[in-house]
Structure 1
Amino acid sequence: MNLHALRLFHTVATSGSVTRASELLNISQPAITAQIKKFEKELQLLLLKPLGRGVALTDAGEELALLAKRLFAVEQQIEQFAHNYRSGTTGSIRLAATYLPAHFLIPTWIAKFKQQYEQVEMMINTTNSSGALNQLLNVEVDIAIYGGIAETYPDTILTEELFQDELWFVVAPNHKYANQQVSLSEMMKEPFVMREEGSSTRERLLSLCRTYHSAVPAISLQFNGLHEAITAVIAGYGANFVSSLVVREYVNRGELSRVYVEGIQLKNTIAICTRKNEPLSASTNNLIQMIRQNPYNKPFL
């Protein structure tokens, strides 16, 4: 079927005359008339009939005009979809995040992003550091937001550091080391409440012990969630080694206290990870750009 001729017919049907269609399309009236006559022969249907000095739709023309209206409405929807997808106002983003950014950064980022890009679907997986990178490597997600050690990633991963926060030792306010300065060896004699194996802060603590040839602490309680681990320490058991983003408010309210370990000042890297040499969708690029502009809430750092 000649879609160009159908478009000419559609314009005549919606505008009401060949003359008006000629003006809208900037095509001569004889050319339009000739194209529609060829189209009628192709379909073996009479679509237009004379009416005074103009034309009117036949019964078949009325029916075809409705179908053409639907067809070209869908065409407009496709064009709008393509425009929106190119600009990032529609689409989907699959994101993996470690616990720290997932609970303390991403909710604010996503709220700001959705205010501007409401039609973009967001799928967020919260996992530990190794899980986030594995999902990215296995093409299960588009980007990973990583909070952990500044390390060497696989060659296929591109990493962009957003900022760094401090790692703190914390205990309950009535603990003997609360607000005290102690040695690393003394600190490591305390029982620790930590997250599961694969957690970046847990691995960082063990790495710290290896670096300073210190005994490894007893991890007496282990939780899959950081909130549960923090709650146990607040309740008075053990110590935790954790990002300041997580516990700063607890410390400010007096529910937790810091322990200052001699010679230890460690930072935690918050980074965006993507796959190298792989183009990102416009919606994903829009999210990354928004995160760059609003990486953290300044009062908390």
Structure 2
Amino acid sequence: MLNLHALRLFHVIASTGSVTRASELLSISQPAITAQIKKFEKELSLSLLKPQGRGIALTDAGEELAVLAKRLFAVEQQIEQFALDYRSGTKGSIRLAATYLPANFLIPTWIAKFKQRFEQVEMSITTTNSSDAMKQLLQVEADIALYGGVPEHYPDTIQTEELFQDELWFVVAPGHRYANQHISLQDMMKEPFVMREEGSATRERLFSLCRTYNMPAPLISLQFNGLHEAITAVIAGYGANFVSSLVVREYVERGELCRVYVEGIRLQNTIAIWTRKDEPLSAPAMNLIRLIRQFPRGNE
């Protein structure tokens, strides 16, 4: 088996051209270095060093071995740097599973900020429903799950960390008679709604709200596959929407939409991080969670 310690001594001698200098750098006495190099030459059955004036020089075999040793210890440095980078989270990978709300309105900002700091970390993101996000996490197909919706029951093996509560708003166009008004739920439910397709979690919350207060189901007069299309229709002046404040806050701030304040109604979504309990996260995953905690609402 190759004596790597002796090879390292030889490498330093070859690099500095001096046993004296190698002794100073390695804090090993010159006689000890000389003895180990002689032993190493005997193990290899090669002569590596030869006297030259008051110093030493490399033999032909020593010259060739010095090139190989330089390559070997350069790779060693690369391995050490790789391990350092991986431990610190500057390299590695993160697999995310996310529900619709964080995937579309929070994760893009989080990832942009994260990649500015940790450009070499690879990331994969799956947008799915809450049950599948939890399944991916439990089956170790995802490192982190990001959830937005009604607080759910989850197994004891899942650790949840709530980031914030996101309000659900009724919104209409600025010219609508209910814009910025306080009205009853009964009056609000007389309005035609523009919503996403069946299966949308927010749409289900609206129907559930009506059931809770024993009211007829709302009239969904326009239905779109995409949320953007539904919002655009309301901005254009038709109907109302019931939607996450994350989605429409900027439209409201710009005056393109207005809130309707329905008396006694305040519904919220929970935005949370799910991880596997009692299982250490990788350094890249921990760095991402720290950043999310720093900017829980994205740009704020």
Is TM-score (shorter-chain normalized) higher than 0.5? Answer: yes
For residue 88 of structure 1, report the CA deviation from its aligned partner: 1.5
Q: TM-score, normalised by structure 2?
A: 0.88
**For 1:33-112, what aligned pairs fall within 5 Å after superposition?**
33-112=34-113
Instruction: Indicate yes or no: 2:170 matched with 1:164.
Output: no
Q: d(CA) in 1 for partners of 2:28 and 2:71?
A: 23
Q: d(CA) in 1 for partners of 2:85 and 2:256?
A: 48
Q: d(CA) in 1 for partners of 2:170 and 2:232?
A: 15
Report the number of matched residues.
299
Instruction: Indicate yes or no: 2:123 matched with 1:122.
Output: yes
For residue 298 of structure 1, report the CA deviation from its aligned partner: 8.0
Q: TM-score, normalised by structure 1?
A: 0.87
Superimposed CA distance per residue, residues 219-278 of structure 1 (whole angstroms, 9 cap, x where no aligned partner): 454444322221233234443211112112222333323233232111222111111111
Superimposed CA distance per residue, residues 98-134 of structure 1 (whole angstroms, 9 cap, x where no aligned partner): 3332333333333332332232223233334444333
1:286 counterpart residue number: 287
Superimposed CA distance per residue, residues 21-55 of structure 1 (whole angstroms, 9 cap, x where no aligned partner): 12211222222222222222322222212212222
Structure 1 gaps of 5+ residues are: none
Q: d(CA) in 2 for partners of 1:138 and 1:202?
A: 30
Question: Which moves more between the two structures, 274-283 or 131-140?
Answer: 131-140
The answer (yes or no) to whether the contact 1:185–1:215 under 8 Å persists in 2 is: no
Q: d(CA) in 1 for partners of 2:206 and 2:276?
A: 28
Letter in 1 for 2:4: L
Q: Cα distance 1:203–1:45, how it changes in 2: closer, same or farther (>3 A)?
A: farther
Counterpart secondary structure, 1:270: strand
Letter in 1 for 2:61: A
Q: d(CA) in 1 for partners of 2:175 and 2:139?
A: 46
The answer (yes or no) to whether the contact 2:109–2:299 under 8 Å persists in 1 is: no
Structure 2 gaps of 5+ residues are: none
Q: Cα distance 1:2–1:287, how it changes in 2: closer, same or farther (>3 A)?
A: same
For residue 65 of structure 1, report the CA deviation from its aligned partner: 0.8
Percent identity at matched positions? 81
Q: d(CA) in 2 for partners of 1:199 and 1:158?
A: 26
The answer (yes or no) to whether the contact 1:128–1:199 under 8 Å persists in 2 is: no
Q: Cα distance 1:91–1:297, how it changes in 2: closer, same or farther (>3 A)?
A: closer
The answer (yes or no) to whether the contact 2:110–2:298 under 8 Å persists in 1 is: no
For residue 177 of structure 1, report the CA deviation from its aligned partner: 4.2
Q: d(CA) in 1 for partners of 2:45 and 2:147?
A: 65
Q: d(CA) in 1 for partners of 2:27 and 2:254?
A: 73
Q: d(CA) in 1 for partners of 2:52 and 2:235?
A: 88
Q: d(CA) in 2 for partners of 1:151 and 1:225?
A: 25
1:230 counterpart residue number: 231
**For 1:1-301, what aligned pairs fall within 5 Å after superposition?**
1-175=2-176, 177-296=178-297
